[in-house]
Chains A and B, each alone.
Chain A
Amino acid sequence: MKRFDRGVVFSTILFFLIFSPWVMPSDVATAQAIKVGVIGPMNFMQGKGHWDGATLAAEEINAKGGLQVGNKKMKIELVKADSNEFISMTDATNAMERLMTQDKVNFVVGGFRSEAVLAMQDIAMDYKKLFLGCGAAHPEICDRVGKNYNRYKYWFRVTPMNSKYLVQVCLINLATVNGMLKKELGIEKGKVAIVAEKAMWIDPMIEAIKANVPKMGMELVGTWRPSDKATDVTAELTAVQRADAHIIFTIFSASVGITFARQAGELKIPAAFTGINVEAQKDGFWAATQGKGNYAVSMSTFVRGVSYNDLTDPFVEKYISRFGELPTYTAVTYDAIKSTLGEAIEEAGTIDTEKLIPIIEKAERVVVSAPKAKFDKTHDLVFGPGYATGITFQWQDGKMKGWWPNGWQGVTYKGMAPYKLPPWMIEKYKK
């Protein structure tokens, strides 16, 4: 009996010695994996994009045995964090805090709403964790890097272009549409109505557009700011129509984009669209608007059949076959993990954040979401020919068609199509 007891005690001690967390801490247990936190509103298409893009990147890296870190291979382990940032800012900061303290991730990718990302950014910076932004456009997020480099150097905006560049593209698009109205309908001085949801990232854009529209020889007839969750904008549409607007400049990132496009199509508002409508980037937009979203315009990173380089098409096709839908720009977590982070880790031979930062700062990489990607001094994505430009597209009879850049500063991507005016507009103004 005594011998039996000793055996049990010995076995138990041996068991605990082998498997005890003191002997084998979790860090050691997962030493072969690089933990990447993917944070986003996971119950919404933006978060799904974050996760799906990251999943593809991790699968591709892991299929090759992982990243070469010095003399060993390390696989990518993704940790999903639902920021629920559309509904609750507290949920967003809690999710980031959990990634830092509980999941102990090495890096973070994702984030969507600027208001939430600003708060989440501070938490990541407190823990000195590399946070690769894949969704928020407000300039302040990167301006912080310029103002306080030592604190905010762990942040890089991988996508989208910041809202100053978005405005630049939007103004180029506006001039293009205005030129078309002049040429095709004889409208000498285009009247522009801005309809933009109430959101922080849009405020500086509106100021810039207001300042530039008169300089571009157009007239601004008004600015309407519905709530981002408005379920009825017929009053706004009626007012826009009363103002005789020829062009409606939309800036939407939330559900109001669907409401607006659907009701504008239903009421056949005789105006051309330009601007941004994030919900229109999604395949489901056509069904959500019940086919009324025809001629809606937005900017996006991925459009079926349009490619920046040889990497874009295979990625888009693989993404569609795997997830059944076109990737939205938040799926650029793929580039964030595979190129920005993955290539930097292999070059540095370490996952030490401090050593990775200078490599990411200097790098210029071929990615799926732009001809090439590099970062400026504030760790913001560089915009311009040869780099990130995005694609402006229009819904035409149930299909997204890329129409810009089409010759702008010598940039034309494969698979572009011309912009179309709504037939009811042509009918009203054709002389």
Chain B
Amino acid sequence: MILDIILSGLINGSVYALLAIGFSLIFGVARIVNIAHTAFYMLAAYCIYYGTQKLGVNPALCMLAAIIPVTLIGLISYRLFIDPIREHEGAVLIATIALAMAMQEVMLLIFSGDFLGVPHLIEGYRMVFGVKIAYQQLLTFAVALLVLAAVWALLLKTKIGLAIRSTAQDREVANLMGMNESRVAMITMGVSVGLAAFTGAVIAPLAIVNPFMWMHPLIMMMAVVVLGGLGSIKGSFVGAYILGFAESLVVFLLPMGAYLKGSVALSIMILVLLIRPEGLFGIAFEEER
């Protein structure tokens, strides 16, 4: 049973990690709590559905192609709705909720509330230590690791990464040093939404595509980010796996309460926050930035 819990936890955690990294990135740099993050993931899932099921495009090609329009929509949304009110965090929060709801309603109008599916990139399953795991889930796990490595390389090995990190550490000083802070935020938003779209592309085959599919991951993703420490990518990664394991534990140890797995995971987050309010890898006070 322990192996079952570990493997299920790794798979669950990978999905949350993929979502949380992009969210954490935009929060850490631009202090934008982008509630619409998972709605972009939902948009990507619909793009893939439309491409594969209605246009008959190859799933892999469709998954890559979906990233472009969704990232563009993300950037336009940033310019129109977020950038003008960026200084007011509360307003950004409300605006992104409205944005997510708007996207949900548009999808509901176009596709109705029907539950839809998209094909797996790789069909079938593999036995891993006696546990059946679908190839698509293994792919998700591998992609989560790759994305983390890519984000790490972007932040530490590139000029734009340096700018992003500088802006994240101190926006005003970065500005004084000649960096276009607003442009960096926009690029970060692009990367973040691109990651959400990419996540949508990888996870959509595992999910049921519907206009409300962004809500549950949003709650879990925010829990992951808060648990790991707001703005900490490393924290998000670790937090994702902690909550993934917590969910698996509930299913295996408390089968009648399997529906509580989300609640138990969120309770763990609250417990951790009671002991360590800044999260596992967060910064205690805003002034420290």
Contact = CB atoms under 8 A, between A and B. Distances in A.
A327 to B, nearest CB: 15
B116 to A, nearest CB: 6
Given A227-B262, A267-B134, A44 B216 contact: no
A52 to B, nearest CB: 13
A293 to B, nearest CB: 9
B206 A258 contact: no
Most A C-beta atoms less than 10 A away, residue of B125, B136, B247:
B125
Nearest to A266: B134
A91 to B, nearest CB: 13
Given A232-B206, A235-B8, A224 B256 contact: yes
A431 interface: no
Contact of B120 (A45, A48, A197, A266): A266
Interface string A267-283: 11100000000010000
A219 to B, nearest CB: 15
A379 interface: no
Given A236-B251, A267-B132, A255 B115 contact: yes
A234 B207 contact: no
Contacts, number: 115
B62 interface: no
Given A198-B259, A239-B4, A290 B15 contact: no
A279 B114 CA distance: 10
B118 A224 contact: no
A289 B205 CA distance: 10
A45 B115 CA distance: 9
Contact of A258 (B117, B136, B205): B117
Best-surrounded residue of B7, B120, B256 (most CB of chain A within 10 A): B256
Contacts of A258: 115, 117, 208
Which size class do A's interface residues fall under?
35 or more
B245 to A, nearest CB: 11
A44 to B, nearest CB: 4
B9 to A, nearest CB: 8
B12 A232 contact: yes
Given A225-B257, A238-B8, A267-B132, A259 B251 contact: no
Nearest to B212: A87
A202 to B, nearest CB: 11
Contacts of A279: 115
Contacts of A234: 8, 11, 133-134, 137
B262 A223 contact: no
Interface of B: 1, 4, 7-8, 11-12, 15, 53, 108, 112-120, 123-125, 131-134, 136-137, 205-208, 210, 212-213, 216-217, 247-248, 251-252, 255-259, 261-262
